[in-house]
Amino acid sequence: MAIATVDPTTGETLRTFEALGPQEIESRLAAAAAAFGRHRLTSFADRGALLERAAELLEADEDAIARTMTTEMGKPVVAARAEAAKCVKTMRWYAQHAEELLADEIPADEDVRDSGAVRAAVHYRPLGVILAVMPWNFPLWQVVRFAAPALMAGNTCLLKHASNVPQTALYLQELFLRAGYPDGCFQTLLIGSGAVEDVLRDRRVAAATLTGSEPAGRAVASVAGDEIKKTVLELGGSDPFVVMPSANVARAATTAVTARVQNNGQSCIAAKRFLVHADVYEEFEERFVVGMRALTVGDPMEENTDVGPLSSEQGRTDLEELVDDAVRRGASTLCGGQRPKDRDRGWFYEPTILAGITEAMRIHREEAFGPVATLYRVESLDEAVELANDTSFGLSSNVWTDDDADVRRFVRDLEAGGIFFNGMTASHPGLPFGGVKRSGYGRELAGHGIREFCNATTLSYRDA
């Protein structure tokens, strides 16, 4: 893929960028390593002041960077502004909490004595240069949720962003420089995916984090494994949205629309499979269809647009192939299912609900990355749990119920990194985020996220 800004609303190529050559990559690796030698010695107060300043600058830039994101990948500009605001919040949260999250852990006195020591502690130290391979769908948030804790821990960062959001990637580098971070603390690498392996294998790179597709995660993890380097992976998802008989069906259906089409349906944690108990299925289906049909599809720069274009022509083609396969194999289209007739340019697709899904259909197994929902009728709690887990993914999940027995069962048996009861999946800097199965491993955010790229060092002291 060329490194370029291609407006998905029109299909027009607006800017292209040259990939860095070997000497330029070497220069950035050297700068990152040198910066780490200095940055790791700074205090939490100094690091926090820098991150607070970056947050202030981003807050002032909110509208401008939102429009850049919308231009590059098509998300509604209202959502883009919310993404920028979320990044500001997370920067400030880590600036305020990093020191306590990385405070020394003191074992119980009896364990210290039993080890033969007079005192002991677990001390957290930064690992070094961290390579981040990031996707286009949340081009600011995915980076900040990694960079804020990594920088506060004393690491330095190299960003290989998706090739279709180069202006957002370059903005991030400039943001941290404007905030006062020394050269080398945070750098953007404008490189293609083929250059990632050499960067990851470089001895100066200590670890990597990737958010993206399963194939991309597999490729990065295999190289890192060969080099024995730490990785954190956040990959795809096919999150269930389960509605049980005791649920508030009206609220569940309204939330289901937002949960499915957030970010134009291009979110790993968007609800994708809607599993509804037979007792409330008819009501939910009716409300869900009405809600999806009421959405405004159009120019993402317009304030009233609910759903903009998909990020690329290939992305729309992939989605169409999943829908066409399901319909050909017997699925029914309750709404949508085609390109909007009033859009002759850009990569738009109608909000769509498919019912009558069977295991023979690709969409039953594969992630639909766009505004397409699959609707299932379930007859029991057991069937709901079984179907929710019938996927290779395990990122997040949503369960609607007012029954404590239902809650206990889903907490015990649902295979996911998060379970959100009576609401849609959301991320917050104070709560860990990540998945299981082929949705990846490791955690971002909260204390779990900042400690992922730290060396938990055991300190044991005995009398001289």
Helices (H), 206-365: 214-227, 249-261, 278-293, 313-328
Which is the catalytic residue, given 234, 285, 444, 452? 234
One-character DSSP codes across 236-273:
---EEEEE-TTS-HHHHHHHHHHHHHGGGG--TTSEEE
Phi-psi region of 405 (alpha: psi -120 to 50; beta: other; left: phi over 0): alpha
Q: Rounded to an integer, what distance in angstroms lies between the CA atom of residue 156 and that of residue 35?
A: 7
Angle at 328 between CA 256 and CA 365, to 5 degrees: 50
- The DSSP call for residue 382 is H
**Cα 91 to chain centroid, rounded:** 16
HSE of 319 in the Cβ direction (CA atoms, 13 Å)? 31
Q: Rounded to an integer, what distance in angstroms lies between the CA atom of residue 190 and that of residue 319?
A: 28
Contacts of 109 (CB under 8 A, 6+ apart): none
Instruction: Answer yes or no: are the C-beta atoms of 270 and 259 closer than 8 Å.
Output: yes
* Three-class DSSP category at 163: coil
How many CB atoms within 10 Å of residue 288?
A: 26
Q: Are strands 156-160 and 332-335 parallel, antiparallel or unpaired?
A: unpaired
List beta partners, residue 122: 105, 458
Longest Cα–Cα distance of the chain, Å, equals 81
Whether 234 is catalytic is yes
Q: Rounded to an integer, what distance in angstroms lies between the CA atom of residue 360 and that of residue 458?
A: 52
Helices (H), 421-460: 446-451
Nearest to 151 by CA among 171, 121, 193, 180: 180
Whether 268 is catalytic is yes
Phi-psi region of 396 (alpha: psi -120 to 50; beta: other; left: phi over 0): beta
How many CB atoms within 10 Å of residue 183?
A: 12
Which is the catalytic residue, given 268, 285, 444, 452? 268
The amino acid at 96:
Q
Radius of gyration of the chain (CA): 23
* Three-class DSSP category at 99: helix
Sign of the alpha-carbon torsion through 199, 200, 201, 203? positive
Sign of the alpha-carbon torsion through 92, 98, 99, 100? positive
Structure tokens at 183: 């050269």
> Which residues are tagged catalytic?
234, 268
